Chains A and B, each alone.
Chain A
Amino acid sequence: MRIFQNRKARNLLAICGFLILCSLSQAAKIGELTDTNWQEQAIEFWTMQQPSVRMAVVGTTLIGLCCGILGSFLVVRKLSLLGDTLSHAVLPGVAAGFLWNASKDPWAIFIGATAAGILGVALVGWIRSTTHLKEDSAMGMVLAGFYGLGITMTTMIQNMAMGNKSGLDKFFFGQASAFNEGDIQLLAIISIITIAILLFFYKEFLTISFDAGFAKGSGMPAKVLHYALMALLAFAVVVSLQAVGVVLVSALLITPAAAAFLLTDRMHWMLILAATFGMLSGVLGAFISYLSNDLPTGPFIVLGATFIFLLAIYLGPRHGILPKALRRRKQRKRIALENTLKAIFHLCERSDFERRVFELNELSRERNISLRQTEREVANLAKAGMASRQSKDSPLEMSAQGRFKLTSSGWLRACEIVRNHRLWELYLTNAAHYRVDHVHDDAEEIEHLLGEHIVKRIEERLQNPITDPHGRLIPSREQVTV
């Protein structure tokens, strides 16, 4: 179990697991496709001559749009799994709508499913407010209870001698190619209604999502808005069922929105990004499932969304794992460089600023690092134009006696760092009343982070001091700026 306490190991494990699973599913797909001539199918898909293809593309795009926008509100309100609950809870409604006239009439199914979904969400709220059971148990019960009822009803339908019941199994895993014109009309209407309501009440929805207390305090009908959002959500879930299926609708709500959440801090950008990601994964899923006859659409839409999410989590410019690691590495490098400069300053100071040229082994002792590392540090300094080598050795292999000196820009930077360090020490002793022997470690950290502005204010506050608490001279402003 130790492995789970190590973050790196866990991340690695997670990536490996995902890659293995993804590559396996990939292999499976290609093996499947070779015998159905997928190039032709691909061309047929992208030229969009067949009406069924056009409908599938329009349908999945609209679904991605709706789910992405509504899912964003769920994700920022930490209600992601309420979407999951809702999508399972609609099943008995689907069955009831199906029973209404024993056919796949989209409107009957739509009304039944919406009613069931809203009832499910309301039940979660009631269980939570009238018992001491927690939200997750309440959601689990509604999810599984409604789903069980739905399964009982669908098995009854399937065991009944009834004519057209073939459409019902599509509700489990989705088949975008089964879209017909009625479905597309319904989808378009729902999308327009959703977007119109959200645009019209954008400010209100934004407020209840981020600060429900404030919303109530300023007289907004928080409960009405909450249930309005849930109704829209139920609409979106119900119309998405055909394309992605009951189990995977929640992914379409959560994953694109979560990917967008990683990339931006502004809600309107999040909505735009989530809608784009939703549409992209929708079309991708429709495309892949079109390549072969018996590939369900839902799982591929979900995997497309997951792929986008993985890209966002690894490469997102601000919060992504990779850019973060790169930034951290760059910072570590800078700190090492500055520490080397400081060590050279100390060497210089020890000789009363007489000597300007030093040997590598001196620096290695001062920095307390190996000679190899010292070589590398000095090479880095030279690359940054802060040091120049004085010995005639080849630049790649300097001996322990290899000599170097700081250039004027290196010297300025060294003075700056030492100045930051000593000013901070003085600030801690004078203004924060630290003991003199306790200030060094803290200054060691902060010296790399202090900006020009803060240094100036510290200086003013300490009335332009000359020496630090240990009695050493603080490099003066002139020394640093000249």
Chain B
Amino acid sequence: MRDQFLPAFSFQNAIIEPWSLYFDSTIWIVTMGFLVAATCGLIGCFIILRRMALVGDAISHSLLPGITLAFLLTNSRDTLPMMIGAIAAGVVTVALIEAIRQSSRIKPDAAIGIVFSSLFAIGVVLISAYADTVDLDAECVLYGEIGWIPLEDRIVLGGHEIGPLPVIRMAVIGLIALGLLLTFYKELLVTSFDAGLAASLGINPGRYQYGLTLFLSVVIVSSFESVGVILVIAMLIFPGATSMLLTDRLPRILWLSAGFSGLYGLLGFHLATWLDASIAGGMTVVAGIIFTLVWILAPKRGLLVKFVFKSHSKGARTSSIETQAG
């Protein structure tokens, strides 16, 4: 059974062939993986700093009814209605969590759990009720697949073919994220680390909180097609969390997460090709493996360094006690 499950690793099949025989689709799939991970990772760094990781989880689940409703109302899978539905769902989620928290003694973690599961359930019901008309598959939303993104629609600009529509769209959203980040870097930095200081500097922390939430919805909805709503969380948290084990400076964390995103895209694709599995799943597994490696081996705060340092210092202490006693 085991041999059958884990296919033999063939360098030719997993590494060479995708880049020689199917170069045209491989390059776009890897690029798409990188773009999704990098965009999510960029915004994810701030999500981690603000301890909103699980709010991100909630929003990503709640998007399901939002996009389904948008689809049912407009009957199209265009970007704009989907985005509007997603943003509305994100706002409703955050507002509901706040409403439950303020109007009762339910703690925020329970409020998050109740809201996202209810909204997700509504989404699943909507999809299964309109299964004939809705071109959305609940399972597909749960674990999207980069391999399925349509590569046929090429965008042509000034006679030059630039690339497939979904990849270009993701690139544009990534660039917008980058632009917004550069424009509001100082404000985001201050509000993430010290809301009190931000307020005293005349920066409204609440406004940036909601801005970030809205943009998070946009990023999640543009990524769910390729990685699914739950693995978006992986792409949001893993790059930033891994980088934070390596450095404390925010600019370096942002650069490192972009680098890790590239690794996820490339290695995840090859892992999935080898195992004949979902690429999004492969990317997440790679992300998990890289995190584990960094967690153990990180130069300053890795488990290994800590362990060696701890036993070393313990030894030093006992020896100094011994010399004193001697």
Which A-chain residue is minimally distant from B57 (CB atoms)? A140
- Across chains A and B, the number of contacting residue pairs, with CB separation under 8 Å, is 262
Residue ranges of A at the interface with B (Cβ–Cβ < 8 Å): 1, 4-5, 7, 10-11, 13-14, 17-18, 21-22, 24-25, 28-29, 31-32, 75, 78-81, 83-84, 88, 99-102, 127, 130-134, 136-137, 139-141, 143-145, 147-153, 155-156, 159-160, 169, 172-173, 247-248, 250-251, 253-255, 257-258, 261-262, 294-296, 298-300, 302-303, 306, 309, 313, 319, 321
CB–CB A137/B276 < 8 A: no
Binds A, one of B105-113, B180-188, B216-224: B105-113
A255 with B117, Cβ < 8 A, contacts A25-B129, A102-B1, A149-B281 known: yes
**Among all A-B residue pairs, the 4 with the closest Cβ atoms:** A148-B284, A251-B117, A152-B281, A28-B129
A133 with B121, Cβ < 8 A, contacts A144-B284, A145-B284, A151-B231 known: no
Apart from the given pairs A148-B284, A152-B278, 12 other A-B contacts in the complex at a CB distance below 8 Å: A4-B98, A11-B99, A18-B96, A80-B113, A88-B230, A127-B295, A169-B139, A251-B117, A255-B113, A255-B117, A300-B121, A306-B114
For A296, list chain B residues within 8 Å (CB).
124-125, 128
Which B-chain residue is minimally distant from A306 (CB atoms)? B118
CB–CB A302/B284 < 8 A: no
B70 within 8 A of A: no
A255 with B244, Cβ < 8 A, contacts A78-B109, A102-B1 known: no
Which of B96, B125, B230 is A144 in contact with, Cβ under 8 Å? B230
Which B-chain residue is minimally distant from A75 (CB atoms)? B110
Which chain B residues in 154-184 approach chain A with CB under 8 Å? none
For B230, list chain A residues within 8 Å (CB).
88, 143-144, 147, 247
CB–CB A258/B114 < 8 A: yes
For B250, list chain A residues within 8 Å (CB).
none
B59 within 8 A of A: no
Which of A10, A11, A28, A84 is B125 in contact with, Cβ under 8 Å? A28
Within the complex, the shortest CB–CB distance from A14 to chain B, in Å, comes to 4
CA of A152 to CA of B228, assembled, Å: 13
Which of A22, A131, A262, A306 is B104 in contact with, Cβ under 8 Å? A262
Within the complex, the shortest CB–CB distance from B316 to chain A, in Å, comes to 22
CA of A145 to CA of B237, assembled, Å: 10
For A248, list chain B residues within 8 Å (CB).
117, 120-121, 124
CB–CB B245/A131 < 8 A: yes
CB–CB B119/A21 < 8 A: yes
CA of A172 to CA of B140, assembled, Å: 11
CA of A345 to CA of B276, assembled, Å: 88
CB–CB B125/A25 < 8 A: yes
For A139, list chain B residues within 8 Å (CB).
53-54
Within the complex, the shortest CB–CB distance from B183 to chain A, in Å, comes to 18
Within the complex, the shortest CB–CB distance from A31 to chain B, in Å, comes to 7
CA of A78 to CA of B106, assembled, Å: 9
For B228, list chain A residues within 8 Å (CB).
151
Which chain B residues in 77-135 approach chain A with CB under 8 Å? 92, 95-96, 98-100, 102-107, 109-110, 112-114, 117-122, 124-126, 128-131
Within the complex, the shortest CB–CB distance from A109 to chain B, in Å, comes to 15
CB–CB B92/A319 < 8 A: no
CB–CB A140/B53 < 8 A: yes
CA of A101 to CA of B125, assembled, Å: 33
Which A-chain residue is minimally distant from B234 (CB atoms)? A144
B212 within 8 A of A: no
CB–CB B233/A143 < 8 A: yes
For A295, list chain B residues within 8 Å (CB).
125, 128-129
B297 within 8 A of A: no
Within the complex, the shortest CB–CB distance from A472 to chain B, in Å, comes to 43
Within the complex, the shortest CB–CB distance from A368 to chain B, in Å, comes to 33
